A and B are shown apart, each in its own frame.
Chain A
Amino acid sequence: MKTILEDRFEHPIFKPLWLQFTTPSVKQLHQKLKQWIYCGITGGVIVGDARIGKTTAIEILHNRYTTRSKGQRIHCHRFVVPKRDTPTIANCLRALYFSAEFTLGKTKKADEMSEQLVHYFLDLACENDDKVVLLIVDEFHRLSINQIEVFAELHDKLRLLNASLHVYLMGNANEAEKLIGASERTEYAHLRGRFFNQKYYFSGIQNINDLKQCLRMYDVTRYPEETGPTYTEYFLPADFKKGWRLEQQAKLIWECYSTHRNELSINSWGMKYFVGTVSPLLTDYLPQYSTAQLSRNMVEKCIEVSGLIPDYVRAT
């Protein structure tokens, strides 16, 4: 039988991949993607700072899209670009081929893989009457400009078969600058028109209101789902009963963060650092020292633990 302590570590808060909140940024991204899909924009770029929560946002959103007309599900294929020594088109196709879980055969020609992928996306597109399928290319900054041709080719072939492939490239803003810059050249005008005209900047927590909404998620999200206590209640049951809420501490936390934001010129608080701050506060400091002793120092310590400062110092 597991002890209470062991059970405690089963909590999603200790499992970074399980901890997924629909934050204001995620909602904004959702609205933007919805807008692109409904308006028939078949290509776009989503950029944002590293560790800001783009991938998690897509994990949350990828199965939420439906067609405008009949509300049928639009399938979304997520493809994480791997880094390879030789950035060839065939390598990109092969990576995409394997991401579709085709394991048959070893050596395939680019044409064969391309045709196979066309039919793969066609199958997915046929799940709705509008024949739309989404392809999210995560970490697209690892691609060379020529490798983007793969997506243009797939898009063109599917268009001939009456299906629409929406390709949205997602990556780190700084690293993608070079690639986006390359697309400005005249010889890549066809790529620019398809994928780079529409840009969206994904940001983390930008103001105290965003922070409040994020903190509120700890106060309302339950574990186990629906029947269990909220995250805050789970770790601070007595205080929660007395009406103590994490959301109420938003001002204090924001003040602490603001100091660093100004020093390091941070645009927005990345979700990784935010979660890295709140988790130790909620699971270690507050249960140990009580909520009455919550102070600026304690929050500062948590921000330090999250790794925000060294990461940004190094980045700048």
Chain B
Amino acid sequence: MPPRVINIGRAFSCPLESNYNVYRRLLIANPSISKTLLERSAPIIKTLYPDIYKAVDNRIKQVILYAYSIQYPDINIDRFASRLTISPKCYRQCSACAKMLFHSPIYDYVWLTHCPIHNIPLELLCPECGIEWPSTQLLPRTQCATCGLGINQQDALKDGAFNDTAHKALNYLYEVLNTSNNCIDSENYVMSNGRALRNCVSPTSLFAPAIFENLQQRKIGSVYRRNLVVAKMKTHEFKLSPFDQNQITGKEIVDITFPWVRPIQISIIRKIAKAIRSLTGNTHFIDGGSGYSDCPYCIAFNYWWCLVTTVYSDSGLDSSYSQRTILSRPLFEVARPGPVTQYLSKDGVIYNLPTGAQKIIYEKDLEMSYYALFKFAVDCLNYPGGNHFQLRKSAIIPYPYLGKNVSNLSFDFWVLKKSRSRALLIYSDEPIICRENMAFVKAPKTKCMTLSGIKAAELKKYIDNVYFYEEQISAMSEPHRERTVNLGKKISDIQKGFYTPIISHARKVVDTENFDSTFYTG
């Protein structure tokens, strides 16, 4: 047997543990060399285990691979190394599991709300320290009895914690993951705006259990259901008819006011208002016009509404409008509806996307966009100094307004071809906000116009006011090509104008001049 570089903490090893957990147990099992574990062990691994040293270039991975090679002498180093990934953090963790030195990669998945072993909520923060679960970098210096190296080892090794029932529960969830991945026999359709409709479900997706249940026709056991978010899925069947390019006359592009667009917009405004009311105790007001509120709901609403209407006043833009943050999340993404402008393509064949399917996609896009903007507004308010690093950090910091799961929510669409001429649009109908563990802060009441008791007539008036602005832009329109240039320029000005209120609320620290050119598109 070759000499051991370090202890591997075999007593603490559990099936289905994450590599983060492997690293943590290595640190605990090597108290005399923990602090310099990586620095000191790497050269020794290089000498004694050249295969491991060559297989992975990351030092943490080398140490983990070493531990695996000792524990499972028969593993193929190269093959295993190619699949070895380690997350620098554990984002969510069960506090009871943390005390027992266990973490599973599935705890980071948004669809799992409770620990399957202890049936308690998964936490973003260590209950003892009150801060995030430590990263691999911070672990060697963390002596917390829950999240760090100071755990009670006797308790961690007590029998009964990881018994057969616990493993059964974990195994079951792993099974859900494995089967839900690529479980849809779908095809890769691409919309006319270049947006791909998904043909597989990532295990990390919120919809993984729902897809598993709805499309595999296998019910998730009631014992496990209470720990999962099983999103409701809906289906819409439509006709797959070939797309005829001659249908485009150019007139449709200009005519952007479809009769079904405004009702959808109104219904989404109602939905947003209802969501805000439910989150803030039915007392919230939305600042509909001033744009100078400190409330992220209001900032997001203004920004959202202006952008929604801008999209339809812009005949020069392509059929969709998308803006991304530095975190590569869509800040705003709405498919532009139209009689013939939306189509699906696959393997060079183009199909019409019927109005029914367009409505669904448009509605979900509108709703998603509001929450994306809301999240962005909260980011800006939380980090007035808004540099890249802090905004990146914000992705893992809980949002005081909407609760912890907000960063992982989205609507997804799948298209399943049923026959030669029929297809099925599958989509999630669940509210975007996760219901569990909401932590809200009441928004300020002043300077906000109430939406809670708003009447239909007032709402229409409010919307018409905004449309007035849109009409002004339309009035400026000239022949098509010129309009494209002029409106493109105008839109960029409008964008700058709309970003500015948010930045000003972020205490004017962000440089607005550089903001929209590099800050968003990075």
Contacts and interface: CB of A to CB of B under 8 A. Distances in A.
Interface of A: 100-105, 108, 112-113, 115-116, 119-120, 122-123, 125-127, 131, 160-163
Given A123-B7, A123-B11, A161-B157, A112 B32 contact: yes
Interface of B: 3-11, 28-33, 36, 40-41, 44, 153-154, 157, 159
B33 A100 contact: no
8 contacts: A100-B4, A104-B36, A105-B33, A115-B31, A122-B9, A127-B10, A160-B153, A160-B154
A134 B84 CA distance: 34
Contacts of B154: 160-161
Contacts of A122: 7, 9-11, 29
Given A101-B3, A116-B7, A161-B157, A123 B40 contact: no
A197 B29 CA distance: 33
Contacts of A103: 44
A116 B30 CA distance: 6
A123 B10 contact: yes
A119 B3 contact: no
Q: At the interface, is chain B mostly helix, strand, loop or mixed? A: loop
Given A115-B31, A116-B30, A163 B11 contact: yes
Contacts of A131: 11
Contacts of A126: 10-11
A119 B31 contact: yes
A119 B44 contact: no
Contacts of B10: 122-123, 126-127
Contacts of A102: 4, 6, 32-33
Given A119-B29, A161-B157, A162-B157, A105 B7 contact: no
Contact of B6 (A104, A112, A113): A104
B14 to A, nearest CB: 12
A116 B33 contact: yes
A88 B423 CA distance: 81
A11 B10 CA distance: 41
A123 B33 contact: no
Most A-side CB within 10 Å, residue of B5, B32, B44:
B32
Given A160-B154, A161-B157, A105 B32 contact: yes
Contact of B7 (A108, A120, A127, A162): A120
Nearest 5 CB-CB pairings of A with B = A112-B32, A116-B32, A101-B3, A126-B10, A115-B31
Nearest to A124: B10
Nearest to B156: A161
Contacts of A100: 4
Given A116-B30, A122-B11, A123-B11, 11 more contacts: A100-B4, A102-B33, A104-B40, A105-B40, A108-B32, A115-B31, A115-B32, A120-B4, A123-B10, A160-B154, A162-B11
